Amino acid sequence: MTSRNQALFERAQRTIPGGVNSPVRAFRSVGGTPRFIDRAEGARVWDADGKCYIDYVGSWGPAITGHAHPAIIEAVREAALKGLSFGAPTESEVEMAELICEMLPSVEMVRLVSSGTEATMSAIRLARGFTGRDAIIKFEGCYHGHADSLLVKAGSGLLTFGNPSSGGVPEDFAKHTIVLDFNDLEQIEAVFKARGDEIAAIIVEPMAGNMNLIKPNPGFLEGLRRICTEYGTVLIFDEVMTGFRVGPQGVQGLFGITPDLTTLGKVIGGGMPVGAFGGRRDIMEKIAPLGSVYQAGTLSGSPVAVAAGMVSLRLTREAGFYDRLGASTTALVSGLSAAARDAGVVFSADSVGGMFGVYFSDAVPTSFKDVMKSDTEAFNRFFHAMLDEGHYFAPSAFEAGFVSAAHGEAEIAATVAAARRIFASWR
């Protein structure tokens, strides 16, 4: 087959490691040829062969308003005409900081960066600087970007490739990262009893989205809050994925929990490179130039990226936005579940706001171990069959999926109908 996707993939592999600039894009675990995307609009993407797909990746989360939303494109155009980057403060980044602080009550001060990785890396450094402690706790299967301390038993691409810890991370760094089990509060309490006064931070995806979607058990997040308060440990909610995705105030809003620091990305950039970390004023004041913890960025607060992000955030504030988004996502997962049930396929699914998980297992998982038991062969068959029919899901059994405001009833119905045909053919 000499499709343009295939030709581009072969060409890409000559100059780009694995042919991709981020590993999961390479289709390694599902096999086959990655689709090179030529353009996107609303709920759809078109590949290099001109084939159209209904898209459930949404650029891995940012595209909550649908691709190429006209208001976002217009804001980018207007900002670009005034210059791309100044390396000096701008009014627009002040507005963005004010908007984030207004939308997330736990955030009293915020700093903008250019990616989720920078946000989490900086938040960890800040927590260490603030507490004067070195150790951090993360949970197996949670992914927080690719900073050294956080690439220990991580999720996302590391799970996809079955290699949850990265080469190139010195043991001297990794030893400060204590990896525990998501949803196991007793284990955490035991660790804190033994060495609570050494632990600078707990960083958690409060709804894990990098080992597929796993929700916190009742009391888990509340327990983390209580323990962190008791031991003077900084509680970091990594809401790079869930922020403004699961609801207007992220997971912290759904559960009414106030983390000390929050990391953001994806939706707040509306498709452009923006990340942020923010939270308690007394902690944020430890960042340079006010404090001793250094953090900086040539392109931080890029006026073009901020322009896109502002519109993305404003669109999510329109009346009924999350009601509609949640209804579309629920319709998708209940449609897929019914299709599987009718065909006798072992399958379950779950969702929150505009985020969903599909699992080839008989019950929705609540732990990393549960997720690892799901049938990845069945997922791969599903993935490819759906792709052939024009429905683009994340190319890994360990990633959450995303629905946008541009996914209407017609798109969801088409995807459910395709799944129904595919599951029926498996009988």
Catalytic residues: 143, 238, 266
Question: In terms of DSSP H, where are the helices of 112-256?
Answer: 116-131, 157-160, 171-174, 185-195, 220-231, 250-255
State the burial class of residue 292 (Cβ atoms within 10 Å of its Cβ: 0-12, 13-18, 19+). Answer: exposed
One of 210, 302, 367, 415 touching ligand PMP (CB under 6 A): 210
Instruction: Report if residue 145 touches ligand PMP, rule: CB under 6 A.
Output: yes
> Which residue is associated with the tokens 């009414």?
256
CA–CA distance, 233 with 249 (Å, rounded to integer) = 23
Q: Considering the complex, what minimum distance in angstroms separates the CB of residue 183 from ligand PMP?
A: 16
Rg (CA), the chain: 21
Instruction: Report if residue 116 touches ligand PMP, rule: CB under 6 A.
Output: yes
Nearer to ligand PMP, 252 or 337 (CB): 252
| Three-class SS state of 362 | coil
Nearer to ligand PMP, 142 or 358 (CB): 142
One of 65, 117, 312, 348 touching ligand PMP (CB under 6 A): 117
The window from 34-42, 235-243, 311-319, 387-395 that contacts ligand PMP (CB under 6 A) reads: 235-243
State the burial class of residue 157 (Cβ atoms within 10 Å of its Cβ: 0-12, 13-18, 19+). Answer: buried
The window from 63-71, 237-245, 349-357, 416-424 that contacts ligand PMP (CB under 6 A) reads: 237-245
The window from 1-9, 96-104, 220-228, 233-241 that contacts ligand PMP (CB under 6 A) reads: 233-241
Both structure tokens of 105: 């009550």
**DSSP secondary structure string for all residues of 138-175:** EETT----S-GGG-SS--THHHHTT--S-TT--HHHHT
> Which residue is associated with the tokens 């929050």?
262
Of residues 246 through 285, those in contact with ligand PMP by CB under 6 A are 265, 275
Of residues 30 through 69, those in contact with ligand PMP by CB under 6 A are 60
One of 5, 65, 115, 249 touching ligand PMP (CB under 6 A): 115
Nearer to ligand PMP, 106 or 117 (CB): 117
CA–CA distance, 96 with 87 (Å, rounded to integer) = 17
Nearer to ligand PMP, 145 or 247 (CB): 145
Contact positions toward ligand PMP, by CB under 6 A?
Answer: 60, 115-117, 120, 143-145, 156, 205, 209-210, 238, 240-241, 265, 275
